[in-house]
A = this chain, B = another copy of it.
Amino acid sequence: MRRHTFVMTLGRGSPFSLGLTGFVSTLACPLTEKVSYKLRTRFKASHMAGEKEIWEKIGEGFVQEYYHQFDNTNRMGLGYLYSGQACLTWEGTIFQGREAIAGKLASLPFKRIQHIITEKDFQPTIDSCVLIMVFGQLQADEEQPMAFHQVFMLKSQNGSWACTNDVFRLGIHNIPV
């Protein structure tokens, strides 16, 4: 049952904050193809029963940790949530690699920010990754709240989970219908 409880116990003193690469680095059993397939076949029944699947727990844990660090730290530590060659597209501009990503996030021009999550969706992928789509609002300094949406892909590498892909956009339309 360990696989089903580890994310639930992640707190502010989790491996994230210890400077380890990736998150859930104490995970004893990485998600394997076999596990993923089994999960997929159980998809509907477990969902209907209200039981959270492992990818939902992993995704929930990542989202909680990511936005907590984003809103409450200097953001350089966010780099440890990414894999070494991770890719971030931030408002259309591409950053590749953990250092480039952390540098971008740390350099964003505001002093205070708060994310409020409206919706979070999680899916497993055929390659045993976890796909996350987040929709919410953010408020930076004294600015008006703005909608945003963000996608993450998580992959288990060397026994820990890390973000390999991240796409962020503010919800601003440039074309009136």
Docked CA distance A30–B114 (Å): 42
Contacts of A44 in B (CB 8 A): 94, 96
Docked CA distance A89–B76 (Å): 33
> Which of A96, A155, A177: most chain B Cβ within 10 A?
A177
Contacts of A43 in B (CB 8 A): 87, 94, 96
Docked CA distance A114–B177 (Å): 10
Docked CA distance A92–B135 (Å): 12
A: number of interface residues (CB 8 Å): 44
Asked if B167 contacts A133 (CB within 8 A), the reply is yes
Answer whether residue A8 sits at the interface, using C-beta atoms and an 8 A cutoff: no
Docked CA distance A164–B128 (Å): 12
Contacts of A89 in B (CB 8 A): 121, 123, 133
Proximity bits, A101-137, B CB within 8 Å = 1, else 0: 0000000000000101011010111110101010111
> Which of A114, A121, A136, A145: most chain B Cβ within 10 A?
A121
Closest Cβ neighbor of A150 among chain B residues: B133
Closest Cβ neighbor of A47 among chain B residues: B94
Docked CA distance A92–B123 (Å): 11
Answer whether residue A165 sits at the interface, using C-beta atoms and an 8 A cutoff: yes
Q: How far is the CB of A137 from chain B (nearest CB, A)?
A: 5
Given contact pairs A40-B87, A114-B177, A147-B171, enumerate 6 new A-B contacts (beta carbons under 8 Å). A47-B94, A85-B126, A131-B167, A133-B149, A137-B175, A149-B149
- Chain A residues within 8 Å of B, Cβ to Cβ: 40, 43-44, 47, 83, 85, 87, 89, 92, 94, 96, 114, 116, 118-119, 121, 123-127, 129, 131, 133, 135-137, 139, 145, 147, 149, 151, 153, 155, 164-165, 167, 169, 171-175, 177
